[in-house]
Amino acid sequence: MNHSAQITDTRTSRQPLPSLTGGVGGGSSVRAFLFDMDGVLFDSMPGHAYAWAKVMTAYGLPMKEEDAFENEGRTGIGTISIFTQRYWGRDATEEEAQELYRRKTIVFNEYMAARGGEAPEMPGAASVLDKVRARGLMRVLVTGSAQQSLLTRLEKHYPGHFTPELMVTGDDVRYGKPNPEPYLMALKKAGITADEALVVENAPLGVRAAVAAGIRTIAVNTGPIDPQLLADEGAEWVFPSMAALSAGLEDLFLEIK
Ligand code: MG
């Protein structure tokens, strides 16, 4: 099977890439991979999408699960307002947003409790991390999530890959994605420039944040959205899954020489 055939190469419609100083692992300027977490390392989006669609639709705001994937990374009130604008012609009030978000959280927690309480690992993610480590490259986590148990959970599923010094979480940032802030902060923590990093993201708004930080971005379309949405935000490569990225990683390393 030709893995490269699964890749949507979006660069034909773009400006030429700035040239690098060498190949990865052989004097390359790439020193780190910056990983988003939800929808990249853990398959956590289906529960959120289910809860959003169920609660919003019951409230008179028809929302599909796919819509939740497209809006991943927005704040609760930001997501709700997209639909109140569409159906009611106005933003959500603070009270409506709080009520809807409260209900969404209940449905989400029920969904997760029925499935062992924890989102499963994303298939292929461990393989990608291992290949990145084998190249001697840093792994940096950049997530909007702010759970206290984050590091414990990462260590349980992906032992030895992440350290607190190389993590940017929802607690660290003021604005969050799609603002470039979290990715700029990650570069600072890793002590590298934008040219020395690659980002792995699954959400259009996450891609937007990474591209706004000036970092070349690999999108993995682990949800049901149109891959063109990821390309349109500026992802240079779009893979259909983390497993496909793992299979295509050697070619990608050669390509960015
Ligand atoms: Mg994500």
Q: How far is the CA of 39 from the centre of ligand 1 (A)?
A: 4
What local confidence, expressed as pLDDT, does residue 171 receive? Answer: 86
pLDDT in tens, the chain (257 residues): 344 444 444 444 444 444 444 444 444 699 999 999 999 999 999 999 999 999 999 999 999 999 999 999 888 888 899 999 999 999 999 999 999 989 999 999 999 999 998 899 999 999 999 999 999 999 999 998 877 788 899 999 999 999 999 999 988 988 888 999 999 999 999 999 999 999 999 999 999 999 999 999 999 999 999 999 999 999 999 999 999 999 999 999 999 86
Q: How far is the CA of 220 from the centre of ligand 1 (A)?
A: 9
What local confidence, expressed as pLDDT, does residue 12 receive? Answer: 43
The total of other beta-carbon atoms located within 10 Å of residue 61's CB is 20
Q: 10, 226 in Cβ contact below 8 A?
A: no
Q: How far is the CA of 156 from the centre of ligand 1 (A)?
A: 20
Q: How far is the CA of 50 from the centre of ligand 1 (A)?
A: 16
What local confidence, expressed as pLDDT, does residue 28 receive? Answer: 64
- E strand map for 74-207: 138-142, 167-168, 197-201
Q: How far is the CA of 26 from the centre of ligand 1 (A)?
A: 30
Write out 45-68 in H/E/C secondary structure. Answer: HHHHHHHHHHHHHHCCCCCCHHHH
Q: How far is the CA of 14 from the centre of ligand 1 (A)?
A: 24
Domains in the chain and their CATH numbers? 6-43+121-253 (3.40.50.1000), 45-113 (1.10.150.240)
159: left (phi over 0), alpha (psi -120 to 50) or beta: beta
Task: Compute the distance between CA of residue 1 and CA of residue 246 in angstroms, rounded to an integer.
Answer: 14
What local confidence, expressed as pLDDT, does residue 21 receive? Answer: 43
| Cα radius of gyration rounded to whole Å, the chain | 18
89: left (phi over 0), alpha (psi -120 to 50) or beta: left
Q: How far is the CA of 87 from the centre of ligand 1 (A)?
A: 27
> Given the structure tokens 């012609």, which residue do they identify?
89
